[in-house]
Structure 1
Amino acid sequence: MAKRLNDYSSVSDVLKQFVESNNLQKGIDKIDVRDAWKNLMGNGVNNYTREIMLKGTTLYVELTSAVLREELSYGKEKIVKMINEEMGREVIKEVILR
């Protein structure tokens, strides 16, 4: 049986406790990273993005344009910094463009 925090817990505290107790943070991070990529990169890049996948601390992005992949490869460090700022903590350490 789950333990009760107290009679007056806020919804956010209860949800945080639920996520921690059920080890759901990795799955939530995968979804949040996809959303962050879409918000930060805009429609121009998103039109050429086929797949976004988070494995551990590495973000894999599959692109359909070799030219765009080459352009984005010059700014990998900036992409990591922008996504981590969007997430509010360090989630990714490396970006691999395919």
Structure 2
Amino acid sequence: MAKRNNEHISISDALKEFVETNKLEYGLDVVNVQDTWRDMMGNGVNNYTTAIQLKNNTLYVQLSSSVLREELSYGKEKIISMLNESLGKEVIKKLVLR
């Protein structure tokens, strides 16, 4: 059972402590990356996105359109920097479009 602190802390600090204690940060990063991809890319890209996975700081995005895959491959570095900026930390180091 968890220890009880008698000091008063804010809800955000308590949640951060809970996430760190239970090692949930990677799982939250996975969900946040998926949500950020959907928000940033818009409906045009999302209609052709079939799967989004984050493994070892590499984002794997499966697309059903080869034309879109080729078009996005030209701006991989910009996409990575925009996603990391939106997430507030460097989560993605490499982008693989399939």
| Same fold? TM cut 0.5 | yes
Deviating 4+ runs (over 4 angstroms): none
Write the distance in 2 (CA, Å) between the matches of 1:67 and 1:10. 49
- How many correspondences in the alignment? 98
Partner of 2:50: 50
Report the CA distance between 1:40 and its aligned residue: 0.5
CA RMSD in angstroms comes to 1.0
Report the CA distance between 1:6 and its aligned residue: 4.2
Write the distance in 2 (CA, Å) between the matches of 1:41 and 1:48. 11
Structure 2: give runs of 5+ residues left out of the alignment. none
Q: Deviations for 1:39-58, whole angstroms, at most 9, x for unmatched residues?
A: 10000000000000000100
The one-letter amino acid of 2:20's match is E
- TM score, norm. by length of structure 2: 0.96
Distance 1:5 1:88, change over 3 A: farther
